[in-house]
Amino acid sequence: MSASGVGRVYLVGAGPGDPGLLTARALELIAAADTILYDRLIPATALAGARPEAELVYVGKEGRGPSMPQEQIDRLLVEHGAAGKRVVRLKGGDPFVFGRGGEEALVLREAGIPFEVVPGVTSGVAAPAYGGIPVTHRDRASAVALVTGHEDPAKPESAIDWPALAAFPGTLVFYMGVKQLPRIAERLIAGGRAPDEPAAVVERGTLPGQRTVVATLATLAERAEAERIRPPSITLVGPVAALRDEGLRWFEQRPLHGLTVAVTRARAQASGLAARLRELGAEALETPAIRIEPLDAGAPLDPSGFDLVCLTSPNGVGCLFERLAAGGRDARALAGATVAAIGPGTARALREHGVIPDVVPERFVAEALVEALADLPVRRALVARASVARDVLPDALRARGAEVEVVDLYETVAERLSDAERAAAAAADYVTFTSSSTVRFFLAALGGREAIGARTRLVSIGPVTSATLREHGLEPHVEAARHDVDGLVDALLADAASRAAASGAERA
């Protein structure tokens, strides 16, 4: 809160939908805001960086749906600003491009509230770009006009000079005009625009579900209706629209485009896998079915005296080093012991703590580690793991005469999923499982296997997880050959490619 008693309002553009297009300044202000007034069409993760104590106020508008009147939004901006707060008015796209940011800035000025404007990436440029259409091109368009396709219904007549717009020597970009496509095309053609001029409409531009339709100006409305194109959409008219089919399409060519993939692993790890899936074009649903709870957190752990230390998961590594730190120890406490890890993820986590594991089996299961340790003399072994885990490794070591101490470093508990998260995951194209616990808790959250859609494909990280799926009456459609996250992603990609090829052959 400002010491002067008067706050400041930031009119911030959140971009067209892809979270990666949020500006650094926008993220900085979101993280520092006392109050955030946000619209409907902002990136799904735009508010993730807000402070826990920040007040989040939804002020979105939706055609034919519940909407907050602009006068009420103006009043909230003034009230919060006058109360000395740092206020972020978060708007989709750019606040000064059909975002009513100019109107809000004038209201703030009249009320004496300081304000700043943070431009955002506007959808009129971004959506065509993601659709493979540059709005300008040296040979085809030297100018671009941004036009609203949805004027104020209170106006007695259109403020657009349609004949002048039809004669405009460049690209025409219409915002919010998908429902007005027949009227837009009719008026442009009547004004002298060529009926066979290339045109396009981009639905949900920059988002995983983006769809693009290219036609002529005369046929675009009919094509869009046949393809069931819906808002939010951007319409573009001009020769540059033809460039999409001349090799510039890229976004919709990514291997997982148009597919939804549910990620069920713990939230701390889910975001990394989800980010990789999004880069490949998928709509990644973060639906963590589990949560990692450290056991005896803060209790010192002394690994001295063991000639073998086995780690079975990255979570176990993290908890181990927290327990070492609690006793004033670090990686040097493992000196002299053979350190074994199941899987490259566990090995990577160890290296991040300065420990290079001595043994990492080629197969990422306990049985493989038992085989890898077959010729290693073991007197005392420490197995650090989750509280509920298979006893394959400790039993095998004891059978060889070793003294084995099993330390349960953490437990896996159920993470509550909202109704929306459950519904979205159950209807996803793919659901990924990275452990047996993700299977058990995910199915419990959904209320049983029957809730999973018939078209949903189940992806398992390895044979142990697959066995748990089968115990619950489900057959995995995909199992990773390498039992780590990289292997899981590769297996999913291969399955998606195979199905796409089969679908293409059927259409042919």
Domain end call among 105, 121, 137: 121
Tens of pLDDT along 324-346? 999 999 999 999 999 999 988 89
Considering the domain architecture, whether residues 170 and 245 belong to the same structural domain is answered as yes
What average pLDDT is seen over the chain?
Answer: 92
Considering the domain architecture, whether residues 88 and 160 belong to the same structural domain is answered as no
What is the pairing mode between strands 403-414 and 380-386? Answer: parallel
- pLDDT for the residue 63: 59
Could you tell me which residues are beta bridge partners of residue 35?
A: 55, 87
Classify residue 396: in a domain, yes or no: yes
| pLDDT level of residue 155 (50, 70, 90 thresholds) | low
Q: Which helix (H) or strand (E) holds 478?
A: strand 478-479
- pLDDT for the residue 482: 87
Tokens representing 206?
A: 């920059």
Tokens representing 277?
A: 């899936």
Considering the domain architecture, whether residues 21 and 59 belong to the same structural domain is answered as yes
- pLDDT for the residue 388: 81
Considering the domain architecture, whether residues 137 and 244 belong to the same structural domain is answered as yes
Q: Is the pLDDT of residue 138 over 90?
A: yes
Residues 6+ apart with CB under 8 A from 117: 10, 11, 95, 96, 101, 105
Nearest Cα to Cα of residue 458 among 489, 481, 485, 492: 492
Whether the CB-CB separation of 488 and 466 falls below 8 Å is answered with no
- pLDDT for the residue 268: 77
What is the pairing mode between strands 338-341 and 308-311? Answer: parallel
Classify residue 68: in a domain, yes or no: yes
CATH number of the domain to which 380 belongs: 3.40.50.10090
Considering the domain architecture, whether residues 39 and 75 belong to the same structural domain is answered as yes
Classify residue 3: in a domain, yes or no: no
Q: Which domain holds residue 422?
A: 260-289+415-505
What is the tally of structural domains in the chain? Answer: 4
What is the pairing mode between strands 211-216 and 198-203? Answer: antiparallel
Nearest Cα to Cα of residue 231 among 73, 65, 70: 65
Across the beta sheet with 308-311, the strand order is: 290-294, 403-414, 380-386, 308-311, 338-341
Tokens representing 268?
A: 């701390």
Mean pLDDT of 171-197: 95
What number of CA atoms fall less than 13 Å from residue 349's CA on the CB side?
Answer: 20
| pLDDT level of residue 267 (50, 70, 90 thresholds) | confident
> Catalytic amino acids?
39, 61, 176
Domain end call among 411, 428, 452: 411
Tens of pLDDT along 144-153? 999 998 765 5
Considering the domain architecture, whether residues 220 and 185 belong to the same structural domain is answered as yes
Considering the domain architecture, whether residues 355 and 463 belong to the same structural domain is answered as no
Which amino acid is residue 179, in one-letter code? Answer: K
